Amino acid sequence: MTFWQVVQHSWGPLMDGLQVTIQLTLLSIVFGLALGLILALGKVYGLKPIRWFCTAFIEIIRGTPLLVQIFIFYFGLPPYGIRLSPLEAAVLAFSVNSGAYQAEYLRGAIQSIPSGQMQAALSMGMTRWQGIISIIMPQALRRVIPPWTNEFIYLLKYTSLAYIIGTQELMAQARFVASRNYEYFHTYLFAALIYLVVVLVFSEMFSWLERRVKIPGFEYHK
């Protein structure tokens, strides 16, 4: 088969897979963001035990391979009565993993906001919590956009690992198709092209968004 024929034959299943890949990425990035926010706030503003716990959690997750984390959620839990579907285990593993990375980006952004901002907020009668919500976080979140978009792209690529536990995403579909038509090179090349296009599209979309929400004084260079 020529490359073009392979594309035509595998279009359906690979597009199905792409859908799952994007679903997996979006769910994980959103849950990861929620977790990352909690971890980052805990690490910066928490009491000592909380700060310590958040730091340890982040370091452990960042210091271990994603693959091992996926295995822990999928193979490691059933003996304890927790049985997750491949998609659930994958979303959970990616969320936890991405949460730890996002927490670090957020922490960096929070700590890059000058301390005078909190002082000014307190001095006008805001509580500490109001200062965090109305003054620090709106600035930190703007600063975190560039690393956050990078994280999105990383996560999108790393979701390909989910095929190992049988999540029906793009990679799994490519393997399935290739094992039937024996056109390994062309099929994987097509999968690679799909990833390439999707990554480029998201990158462009993010830089467009970035320009849209830009505020003077928050210019950043990648």
Partner 1 sequence: MLGLGLGLAVAIPISFLQIFAPQPFRLLASAYERVLRSIPLLVTLFLLFYGLPSFGIRLAPFTAAVIGVGLRSSAYQSQIFRGAILSISENQFRAALAMGMNKIKAFRHIVMPQALRLAIPPWTNELTIVLKDTSMAFALGVVELVRQGRYIIVATREPLLIYLTIAAIYLILTLLSNNTLGRLEKRLRIPGIGVEERAR
Partner 2 sequence: MNKEKGSVLRIEDLHKSFGDNHVLRGVSLEIKRGETKILIGPSGTGKSTLLTCINMLTPPDSGKIWLLNDEITASRKVNLLRQKIGFVFQDFSLFNHLTALGNVSIGLTKVKGMDRKKAREKAMEELKQVGLGDKASSYPAQLSGGQKQRVAIARALAMDPQLILFDEPTSALDPELIGEVLTVMKKLANQGMTMLVVSHEMGFARSVADEVIFMEGGIIVEQGPPAQLFSNPRVERTGEFLSRLSSLFGEEDEK
Asked if 110 touches partner 1 (CB under 8 A), the answer is no
Distance CA 172, CA 86 (A): 12
Determine the interface stretch with partner 1 among 11-19, 24-32, 147-155, 212-220 (rule: CB under 8 A): 147-155
Q: Cβ distance 7 to 197 under 8 Å?
A: no
Q: How far is the CB of 121 from partner 2 (least distance, A)?
A: 8
Q: Is 154 in the site for partner 1 (CB under 8 A)?
A: yes
Report the residue count for the chain: 222
What is the C-alpha to C-alpha distance for residues 198 and 155, in angstroms, rounded to an integer?
A: 12
Q: Which amino acid is at 32?
A: G
Out of 157, 204, 214, 218, the only residue in the binding site for partner 1 (CB under 8 A) is 157
Task: Note whether 64 and 158 are within 8 A (CB).
Answer: no
- Nearer to partner 2 among residue 72 and residue 122 (C-beta): 122
Three-state DSSP state, 134: helix
Q: What angle do CA 9, 179, 195 make, to 5 degrees?
A: 60
Residue 130 interacting entry, from partner 1, partner 2, none, C-beta within 5 to 8 Å by type = partner 2
Contact pattern for partner 1 over residues 24 through 63, marking x by CB under 8 A: -----------------------------------xx-xx
Contact status: 1 vs partner 1 (CB under 8 A) = no
Interface characters, 101-140, with partner 2 (x: CB under 8 A)? -------------x-xx-xxxxxxxxx--x---xx--xx-
Q: For 167-198, give one letter per residue: b (16+ CB within 10 A) or e.
A: bbbbbbbbbbbbeeeebeebbbebbeebbeeb
DSSP three-state, residue 95: helix
Q: Is 2 left (phi over 0), alpha (psi -120 to 50) or beta?
A: beta
Contacts with partner 1 in 114-133 (CB under 8 A)?
Answer: none
**Is there binding between residue 83 and partner 1 (CB under 8 A)?**
no
Judged by CB under 8 A, does residue 200 bind partner 1? yes
Q: Are 93 and 66 in contact (CB under 8 A)?
A: yes
Q: Which residues bind partner 2 (CB under 8 A)?
A: 114, 116-117, 119-127, 130, 134-135, 138-139, 142, 215-218
Q: Which residues bind partner 1 (CB under 8 A)?
A: 59-60, 62-69, 71-72, 75-80, 101, 104-105, 108, 147, 150-151, 153-154, 157-158, 160-161, 163-164, 171, 174-175, 178, 183-186, 188-189, 191-192, 195-196, 199-200
